Amino acid sequence: MEATTNGNGKTLKVRYFDIEENPETHYLNAEKGIKSWLFTVDHKRIGIMYLASIAFFFLIGGILALVLRTELLTPTENLMTAEQYNRVFTLHGAIMVFLFIIPSIPAALGNFLLPIMLGAKDVAFPRLNLASFWIYSIGALFTLASLAVNPIDTGWTFYTPYSVQTGSAVILMTFGVFIMGFSSILTGMNFIVTIHKLRAPGLTWGRMPLFLWAMYATSVIQVLATPVLAITLALLIMERTLGIGIFDPALGGDPVLYQHFFWFYSHPAVYIMIVPAFGVISELIGTFSRKTVFGYWAIAMSSLAIAFIGSLVWGHHMFVSGQSELSTVVFSFLTFFVGIPTGIKIFNWLATMHKGSIDMKTPMVYACMFLFLFTIGGVTGIMLGAISVNVHLHDTYYVVAHFHYVMMGGTVIAFLGGLHFWWPKMTGKMYNEFWGKIASAFIFVGFNLTFLPQFIMGSQGMPRRYYSYIEQFQTMHQLSTYGSYVLGVGFVIIAVYLAHSLVKGAQAPANPWGARSLDWMTSSPPDQHNFKYQPVVSNGAYDYHKPMADFTLGIAEDPAHHGHDDAVKVEAEKAEIR
Partner 1 sequence: MEYLTNFFLPSAESTYAANVDALFHFINIVSLILLVGITIAIIYFAIKYRRKSQEDTTPLITHNTTLEVTWTVIPLILILIVFGWGFNDYVEMRTPPANSYEVYVESFSFGWNFEHPNGIKESNNLTVPVGTPVRLIMRSRDGDVLHSFFVPQFRLKQDLMPNRNTYAWFEAKNTGQFVYFCTEYCGGGHSMMNGTVTVLTAAEFDEWNEEELGRDLDALPLAELGRLVYQQAGCQGCHSVDGSSRVGPTLQGLYMREREFTDGSTRIADEDYLIESILYPQELVNVGYPNNMPNIYQQTLSEREVLGLVEFIKELQ
Please classify residue 479 by burial: count the beta carbons closer than 10 Å to its beta carbon, then call 0-12 exposed, 13-18 middle and 19+ buried.
middle
Q: Which stretch binds ligand HEM (CB under 6 A): 7-15, 95-103, 238-246, 251-259?
A: 95-103
CA distance 343 to 341: 5
**282 contacts ligand HEM (rule: CB under 6 A):** no
Helix axes 413-427, 362-385, angle to 10 degrees: 150
CA distance 78 to 383: 34
- Which of 45, 199, 207, 267 forms a contact with Cu ion (CB under 5 A)? 267
| DSSP letter assigned to residue 105 | I
Residue numbers 220-279 binding ligand HEM by CB under 6 A: none
State phi, psi for 294 to the nearest 5 degrees: -70, 135
Which is nearest to 401 in space by CA: 345, 477, 482? 477
Residue 14: count other Cβ atoms within 10 Å of its Cβ: 24
Binding mask 149-188 for ligand HEM (x = CB under 6 A): ------xx--------------------------------
Write out the DSSP string of 133-200. HHHHHHHHHHHHHHHHH----STTTT-TTHHHH--S-HHHHHHHHHHHHHHHHHHHHHHHHHHHH-PP
Contact between residue 534 and residue 522 where contact means Cβ atoms under 8 Å apart: no
**478 contacts partner 1 (rule: CB under 8 A):** no
Q: Which is nearer to Cu ion, 272 or 285 (by Cβ)?
A: 272
Q: Which stretch binds partner 1 (CB under 8 A): 33-41, 140-148, 158-166, 308-316?
A: 158-166
**358 contacts partner 1 (rule: CB under 8 A):** yes
Q: Which stretch binds ligand HEM (CB under 6 A): 96-104, 176-184, 255-263, 547-555?
A: 96-104
State the nearest-atom distance from the C-beta of 129 to ligand HEM, in Å: 24
Residue 435 site contact among partner 1, Cu ion, ligand HEM, none (CB < 5 to 8 Å, cut-off depends on kind): none
Q: Which is nearer to partner 1, 13 or 464 (by Cβ)?
A: 464
State the nearest-atom distance from the C-beta of 530 to Cu ion, in Å: 37
**451 contacts partner 1 (rule: CB under 8 A):** no
Residue 125: count other Cβ atoms within 10 Å of its Cβ: 16
Task: Output the CA–CA distances (angstroms, integers) from residue 540 to 204, 286, 311, 516, 562, in the order listed.
Answer: 9, 12, 31, 8, 29
State the nearest-atom distance from the C-beta of 406 to Cu ion, in Å: 10
Number of residues that bind partner 1 (CB under 8 A): 90
| DSSP letter assigned to residue 510 | S
Residue 74 site contact among ligand HEM, Cu ion, partner 1, none (CB < 5 to 8 Å, cut-off depends on kind): none
Residue numbers 392-411 binding partner 1 by CB under 8 A: 392, 394-396
| DSSP letter assigned to residue 355 | T
Q: Which is nearer to Cu ion, 15 or 267 (by Cβ)?
A: 267
Site for ligand HEM, rule CB under 6 A: 62, 65, 68-69, 89-90, 92-93, 96-97, 100-101, 155-156, 400, 404, 407-408, 412, 450, 464-466, 484, 487
Site for Cu ion, rule CB under 5 A: 267
